[in-house]
DNA sequence: TCATATTCAGATTTTTCTATCCGAATTTAA
DNA sequence: TTAAATTCGGATAGAAAAATCTGAATATGA
């Protein structure tokens, strides 16, 4: 069970973080990404294609081709990625899964969870990819070297 | 996409909350539960059976049979249910899905998420089923009357 | 005793998510 | 011009989760 984000979304985050380490404009191939991050090749391909279709990434075919960010890493937040892949339903849905509860007469977890959800959202929009990526240069993140 | 808890776990919570409204020792059938809560009949059956096997519920066959809590609602926390159904992996796994990160050199979200995860855990163990169930008597929770 | 209402156990189906496969289109560089 | 390396698009396969089906076991009460 993956928490908070789908597997696909986790891969997307990991991939974009890796791209953010590259000099602006440089293309990175799926091959390189999957080798470094230990993500299934074709699956990551699909994921990045979708991110490209949504405008978050650009892509180029052919040798020397690959993917790159369309904006500066400073201007991309975690939330941008999460929203593009998993959507933002978590900001609205009841955490207990009740389908028709408005929260007008809030139950015992409503406000508590509401605060946490806001904090999570705040975390996602306040963390930019550039800052996070810098932390990733450490060797322990290089899974499967 | 359900947040935090699997669908099955959400159903379990909803079911147990409903049981907590009943007088101690009274049996409630799957039929009644699913009618009130709008949960698939056979699916909830399976879920409650598993909770019974784990000792959280007791069950009785035959007419007048059904399910009931084994402990007083005051003594059951949300975490008891969540752990029985989804496990407690969320207290340990990396929120970004990195498989081999120890957090020795924490990335930008590690500590922030760590705090939130602790808060979530704290919420789950501090909320008892009795208190929560009282809130559920309100009509808006009665989905599909 | 017998019809009925329930849980129980296991198999099966359906749906959703994850992952793979294949061939076409594009780009590069020799 | 041609071979090679890549992304692209769509189909497909596999795995996991959600939901259903079936028949057996058990308990109730008439
Ligand atoms: S009040 Fe409780 S049940 Fe209703 S939406 Fe909020 S958390 Fe969910
Ligand atoms: S430091 Fe970052 S990548 Fe590592 S476990 Fe913590 S949140 Fe995950």
pLDDT (tens digit, 9 = 90+) per residue, A1-29? Answer: 457 999 999 999 999 999 999 999 899 99
Would you give the DSSP letter of residue B140? G
Q: Span B125-141, mean pLDDT?
A: 75
* Low-confidence residues in chain A, pLDDT < 70: 1-2, 100-103, 136-145
HSE-up of residue B99 (Cα within 13 Å, Cβ side): 9
- Residue to mutate among B109, B117, B134, with most A CBs inside 10 A, is B109
Q: Give the closest-approach CA distance of A61 to chain B in angstroms.
A: 29
B7-139 belongs to CATH 1.10.10.10 = yes
Residue A116 CB less than 6 A away from ligand 1: no
Q: Report the alpha-carbon distance of residue B122 to residue B114 in Å, rounded.
A: 12
User: Which residues, other chains included, contact B85 with Cβ-Cβ below 8 Å and sequence gap of 6+?
Assistant: B5, B6, B8, B9, B12, B47, B50, B51
Q: Which residues pair with A130 in a beta bridge?
A: none
Say which residues have a Cβ less than 8 Å from residue B83's Cβ, sequence separation at least 6: none
**Cβ of B50 below 6 Å from ligand 2:** no
* Closest nucleotide over all strands to B31 (CA to C1'): C6
- The pLDDT assigned to A144 comes to 36
Give per-residue pLDDT as tens, B55-114. Answer: 999 999 999 999 999 999 999 999 999 999 999 988 888 888 887 666 677 777 888 889
Q: Is the whole-model pTM more than 0.75?
A: yes
Q: Give the C-alpha separation, B52 to B57, whole Å.
A: 4
Helical (H) or strand (E) element with A60: strand A57-60
């Amino acid at each position: 069970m993956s928490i908070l984000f789908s597997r696909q979304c986790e891969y997307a985050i990991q991939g974009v973080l890796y791209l953010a380490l590259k000099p602006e404009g440089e293309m990175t191939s799926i091959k390189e990404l999957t080798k470094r991050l230990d993500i299934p090749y074709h699956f990551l391909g699909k994921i990045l294609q979708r991110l490209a279709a949504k405008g978050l990434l650009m892509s180029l075919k052919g040798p020397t081709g690959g993917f790159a960010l369309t904006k500066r890493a400073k201007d991309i937040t975690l939330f941008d990625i999460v929203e593009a892949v998993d959507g933002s339903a978590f900001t609205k849905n009841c955490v207990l899964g009740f389908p028709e509860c408005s929260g007008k007469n809030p139950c015992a977890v409503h406000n508590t969870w509401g605060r946490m959800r806001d904090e999570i959202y705040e975390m996602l929009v306040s963390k930019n990819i550039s800052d996070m990526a810098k932390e990733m240069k450490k060797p322990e993140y290089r899974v499967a070297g």
